Amino acid sequence: MNTINRRMMLGGIGALGAAGALAACGSGSSGKPGAAPATGDGGAKGYDGPAVELDFWNGFTGGDGPFMRKIVDAFNTEHPNIKVKMTVMQWADYYTKLPTAVSSGRGPAVAIMHVDSLATNAARNVIEPLDDVAKALGLKQEDFADVVWKAGEYNGKRYGIPLDVHPLGFFYNKKLMTTAGLDPAKPPANADEYAAALDALKSKGIQGHWATPFPFTGVLSVQALIWQFGGDLFNADSSKAIWHEEGGVKGLSWFTDLVKNGHSPKNVAQDADNIAVMNGKNAFVWNGIWNINTFKEKQGLEWGVAPLPNIGGTKAAWAGSHQFCLPKLKTPDQNKSTAARVFVNYVSQKSLEWAKGGQVPARKQVRESADFKALTDQAALATQIDYLHFPPPVPGIGDALAELNKAVNEAVLLKTEPAKALADASARADKLLEANRKKYGG
């Protein structure tokens, strides 16, 4: 998935907690009933019933889309009595259309959802628990990194089957590093090395790390920095935003100083940081693992990728995760219910193939396999698995995070000092968190 599509996905997440009318379901829905309540075996015994058609919705509009379509085609070939119809749309549209489609009885049988949307949709009764599927797959917490496993749970029930993890990574232009006398085989890995590298680039007239004020990838970078400096986004029960505390101020100040110290232009446009790396104008960018295929497609680009440098003293990186979910529909259909679970089981076993689309497999066994390690770029970012962070599984959390987006934007554009921007945003977020607790019954 490319950067622009990721940005549109974020807009969809922010819309999840908003009140007001939802858009009508688009042409991707078939009007046929989808998954029924849990059957107990999670599709483990396969499906030998009459022919069924399953709608499968996702937002894989970028480079990862063809990899999922290939898996779906293989499933359809191997399961002549199940036809999976894959419908792809922009994530922002997807997150708006799905609840409306489910409430009208026209939702898909299977869907993909980001971890930061699961709790909201579970609280809204859009998706159903999948504990039976986890049991059928023999999934256990020790098979996954803790953060990935727990991300699929809400209120003590499992609503998501982990498919992948997509962390932020450090991408760099090797040619520009060489121009500045830096070793492209040894990208900077800590604060001192990073500062020295930026100064070396600046001495050659190169602004080395463009700081974008937009969610992708400025806000994600700042979130990583907050964790690296020992801070957090929310308190233990997610009732208060705490990004305005010391770790948050240090993280946002470091990022804003890129502009103040001349390592970044002012007013960097959306995606301009990434485009500048590809065009030889910017040396460093922190972007998601999906960026691997974007860089591979750029002819003549000499680039590398590594885990995020540890700027604040604590290893940490932002990450997202795609998880399978089964939408709730008004009219149960046991055949579709079983077939949908068979499909989820199948794709979960194909995570190596999916990794080629620019993802880290959620399953530890696949992640540690020789075949995955041969995907050297993805494997480099997978080394971050034990210190990745997701937003907490709280309904409407995107509403609160939207206030952090505003704070980063104001600070990076040099309109407001980091401490004040974060404090003001934290106060606004606290009101939203309280309102959402009432709205969702938390």
Q: For residue range 65-105, list pLDDT tens digits in order.
A: 999 999 999 999 999 999 999 999 999 999 999 999 999 99
Q: For residue range 170-182, list pLDDT tens digits in order.
A: 999 999 999 999 9
Residues 112 and 240 in one domain: no
Residues 256 and 405 in one domain: yes
Residue 357 lies in a domain: no
Task: Pull the structure tokens for residue 333.
Answer: 């259909």
Write the DSSP string, 298-349: STT--EEEEPPPB-SSS--EEEE-EEEEEE--SS-BHHHHHHHHHHHHHHHT
Q: Is residue 20 scored above 60 in pLDDT? A: no
Calculate what percentage of the chain has a pLDDT beyond 70: 90
Calculate what percentage of the chain has a pLDDT beyond 90: 77
Mean of the pLDDT values across residues 272-287? 98
Give percent helix, percent strand, percent coil of the chain, each to the nearest 5: 45, 15, 40
Q: Is residue 376 scored above 50 in pLDDT? A: yes
**Which residue, chain included where needed, has tokens 């792809």?**
88
Residues 91 and 69 in one domain: yes
Q: Is residue 207 scored above 60 in pLDDT? A: yes
Residue 356 lies in a domain: no
- Residue at 299: amino acid letter: Q
DSSP E strand stretches across 259-306: 284-288, 303-306
What pLDDT score was predicted for residue 139? 81
Q: Is residue 10 scored above 60 in pLDDT? A: no
**Which residue, chain included where needed, has tokens 């590594």?**
306
What pLDDT score was predicted for residue 250? 98
Residue 362 lies in a domain: no
Mean of the pLDDT values across residues 345-360? 88
Q: For residue range 305-336, list pLDDT tens digits in order.
A: 999 999 999 999 999 999 999 999 778 888 99
Task: Pull the structure tokens for residue 78.
Answer: 């191997």
Number of domains in the chain: 2
What pLDDT score was predicted for residue 8? 40
Residue 18 lies in a domain: yes
What pLDDT score was predicted for residue 307? 98
Q: For residue range 414-423, list pLDDT tens digits in order.
A: 999 999 999 9
Q: Is residue 384 scored above 50 in pLDDT? A: yes
Residue 379 φ/ψ, nearest 5 degrees:
-65, -35
Q: 333 or 300: whose pLDDT is higher?
A: 300
pLDDT band at 38 (very low <50, low <70, confident <90, very high): very low
Task: Work out whether the CA dihedral 261, 264, 267, 270 comes out positive or negative.
Answer: negative
Residues 175 and 312 in one domain: yes
Q: Is residue 225 scored above 70 in pLDDT? A: yes
Residue 376 lies in a domain: no
Domain interval for residue 307:
167-319+394-440
Cβ–Cβ under 8 Å, residues 362 and 164: yes
Pairing of strands 317-320, 388-389: parallel
* CA 381/CA 320 separation, integer angstroms: 13
Would you give the distance in Å from CA 178 to the centre of its chain? Answer: 32
Beta bridge partners of 327: 127
Q: 308 or 13: whose pLDDT is higher?
A: 308
Predicted model pTM: 0.89
User: Residue 126 maps to which CATH number?
Assistant: 3.40.190.10
